[in-house]
């Protein structure tokens, strides 16, 4: 093995990590999940080092965020250069070049040839909220259709759509009215059951869908599902919002996952991997939908100049190099994971596109055991859904990284 990771020098959490974990527990909100006691000191590429000197292979990229790896030199340089000039002026009220350059770039790479306009936010959930507001404003309709198993965020509008875990919703009602959930992957349900019995399509502002479900378990829908949703929207004057927060920015081997079906959304929502870890999101809409007037929507920090610089550097790297690598490494990852599946009875399914891949385990209890066990051996993983483990590594990984991760998982499943 040529990598200098994984390398466990003291059983995690080590003494320095334990001290920071205790400080954290005494003052931070107890709603944070804290999957396992990883206390990060630094990162480089696909490697994370903790405060006790342990090194890990990061196979979850901060939940699909570190698209160009940790602290990519070109991204860091762009951040440093921007930070020396000015940190904030509010792009909603004033002008600076990066606030024009990034929307130009996003409008160019977004699916479809129609003119686009872009609103910049701080996060994915804010971008979803803005997309919902725009859909209602442009259609003058009130209802939304989302899907069982979906995750769109935790603020009230996006949480009203979210349907992946009861923990995310328990105790927070009432939610946004007129939100209807359909089975994911079943477009016929909308036309054959929802419209005839419960919901007039003329009242629907938007259908909101993940092209591959994220928190719901990395579920890839049946071929034709997104195309059928597009047709339903076209027939009924409904806005199609595609939530690419986790699947976008090259992760699936294309810039956006909906492009695997050549589907063009009316609004596409991005965040996570957009700025390699800097807080930034966006919703990109057909220009003719942006009918609202100045002041109808806004953000103090959205499109911060330092974040915009990070995003421009990220998109350049993804376009030129890492999207292609995600496609190539994704094929290898899926092939080798299916090979592992053939050797164990505990993996019931392998699914995904590019570097958005999941294994389904036969026993829900195995998920936590494998995730925590892998952490102790130096590989960072996360679960998804009830019985899946997601693979969402930085788009910079190579075949050796894949072999390390799968060997570790294989050993744990054998044990």
d(CA 36, CA 137): 43
Whether 18 is a known active-site residue: answer: no
Question: Angle, to 10 degrees, between the axis of helix 323-343 and the axis of helix 399-414?
Answer: 30
The one catalytic residue among 116, 228, 254, 272? 272
- DSSP per position, 214-267: STTT-BPPPTTHHHHHHHHHHHHT-EEEEE-TTTTTTTTSSSSGGGGGT---SE
The one catalytic residue among 99, 119, 144, 151? 151
Comparing CA positions, the residue from 283, 290, 278 lying closest to residue 245 is 283
CA 28, 169, 248, 396 torsion: positive or negative? Answer: positive
CB proximity list for 139: less than 8 A, separation 6 or greater = 205, 206, 237, 238, 239
Q: What angle do CA 64, 68, 72 make, to 5 degrees?
A: 135
Give the number of C-alpha atoms closer than 13 A to the C-alpha of residue 28, restricted to the C-beta side. Answer: 10
Phi, psi of 28 (to 5 degrees): -95, 155
d(CA 346, CA 387): 11
Whether 34 is a known active-site residue: answer: no
The one catalytic residue among 243, 256, 266, 336? 243
Whether 225 is a known active-site residue: answer: no
- DSSP per position, 144-212: EEEETT----SSHHHHHH--S-GGGTTT--S--SSEEEE-TT-HHHIIIIIHHHT--GGGEEEEEE-SS
Report, as residue numbers or ranges, the catalytic residues.
Answer: 151, 243, 272
């Amino acid at each position: 093995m040529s990598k200098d990771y994984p390398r466990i020098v003291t059983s995690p959490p080590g003494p320095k990590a334990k001290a920071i974990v205790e400080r954290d527990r005494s003052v931070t909100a107890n709603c944070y999940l804290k999957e396992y006691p990883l206390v990060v000191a630094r990162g480089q590429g696909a490697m994370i080092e903790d405060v006790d000197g342990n090194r890990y292979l990061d196979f979850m990229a901060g939940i699909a965020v570190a698209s160009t790896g940790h602290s990519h030199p070109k991204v860091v340089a762009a951040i440093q250069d921007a930070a020396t000039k000015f940190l904030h002026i509010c792009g909603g009220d004033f002008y600076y070049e990066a606030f024009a350059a990034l929307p130009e770039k996003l409008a160019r790479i977004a699916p479809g040839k129609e003119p686009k306009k872009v609103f910049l936010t701080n996060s994915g959930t804010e971008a979803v909220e803005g997309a919902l507001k725009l859909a209602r404003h442009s259609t003058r309709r009130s209802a939304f259709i989302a899907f069982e198993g979906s995750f769109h965020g935790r603020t009230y509008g996006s949480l009203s759509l979210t349907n992946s875990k009861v923990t995310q919703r328990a105790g927070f009602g009432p939610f946004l009215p007129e939100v209807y959930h359909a089975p994911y992957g079943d477009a016929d349900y909308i036309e054959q059951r929802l419209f005839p019995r419960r919901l007039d399509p003329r009242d629907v502002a938007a259908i909101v869908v993940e092209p591959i479900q994220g928190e719901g378990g990395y579920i890839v829908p049946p071929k034709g599902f997104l195309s059928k949703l597009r047709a339903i929207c076209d027939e009924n004057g409904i806005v199609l919002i595609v939530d690419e927060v986790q699947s976008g920015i090259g992760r699936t081997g294309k810039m956006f996952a909906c492009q695997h079906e050549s589907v063009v959304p009316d609004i596409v929502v991005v965040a996570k991997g957009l700025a390699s870890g800097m807080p930034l999101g966006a919703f990109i809409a057909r220009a003719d939908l942006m009918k609202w007037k100045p002041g109808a929507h806004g953000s103090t920090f959205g499109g911060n100049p330092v974040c915009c610089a990070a995003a421009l550097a990220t998109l350049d790297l993804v376009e030129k190099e890492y999207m292609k690598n995600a496609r190539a490494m994704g094929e290898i990852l899926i092939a080798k994971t299916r090979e592992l599946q053939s050797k164990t009875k505990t993996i019931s399914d392998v699914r995904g596109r590019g570097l958005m891949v999941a294994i389904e385990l036969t026993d829900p209890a195995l998920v936590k055991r494998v995730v925590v066990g892998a952490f102790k051996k130096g590989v960072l993983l996360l679960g998804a859904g009830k019985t899946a483990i997601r693979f969402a590594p930085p788009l910079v990984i190579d075949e050796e990284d894949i072999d390390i991760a799968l060997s570790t998982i294989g050993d744990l499943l054998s044990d």
